[in-house]
Amino acid sequence: MRRGTPEYEAAQEAMAELLLERARNGEWPIQYGKLSKLLAEQGHNVPAHSAEMDHLLADVSHRESPDGTNAMLSAMVVLKEKGEPGAGFYRLAREEFGRTGDNVTIWGEEMKLLARDFRQS
């Protein structure tokens, strides 16, 4: 699956809808494997620990926060073993969203932003 293809665009749309719904309902975090399974149920083959997953999470985060002021939706996707996002999330947060601090600080701040930006009362 390559960026810019109809297949990629459809998977990105599906991922955005899944994550937005979960964010609004406070159903986070979600494990990479669970997200992969939910996407597969909609016909999108996005392995949990793949370049495609990383690209889609980055693109969905940019889509929902083009100027970096809103929460990164990718913050809610976590590793089963650690219960926190993978290294790609922190790299994206620092390099493309201008987040600063150690990993705990960055993720904690994103969790606050998720509640502020998406959680419905």
pTM over cut 0.75: yes
Q: For residue range 35-56, what is the model confidence (pLDDT) as tens digits?
A: 999 999 999 999 999 999 999 9
> According to the 3-state scheme, what is the secondary structure of 16-44?
HHHHHHHHHHCCCCEEHHHHHHHHHHCCC
How much is the pLDDT for 119? 79
Q: Which residues of the chain have pLDDT under 50?
A: none
C-alpha 17/C-alpha 92 separation (Å) is: 21
Instruction: Report angle CA 20, 71, 98 to the nearest 5 degrees.
Output: 145
Closest CA to 81 of 19, 32, 15, 18: 32
Task: Please give the structure tokens belonging to residue 69.
Answer: 């002021």
Q: What does the pLDDT read at residue 21?
A: 95
For residue 26, what are its two tokens?
């406070």
* Domain residue limits, the chain: 6-118
pLDDT at 114: 93
* Residue tagged 């109809």 (tokens): 6
Q: What is the pLDDT of residue 84?
A: 95
Ramachandran assignment for 4, one of left (phi > 0), alpha (psi -120 to 50 degrees), beta (any other): left
Angle at which helix 87-95 crosses helix 103-118, to 10 degrees, equals: 80
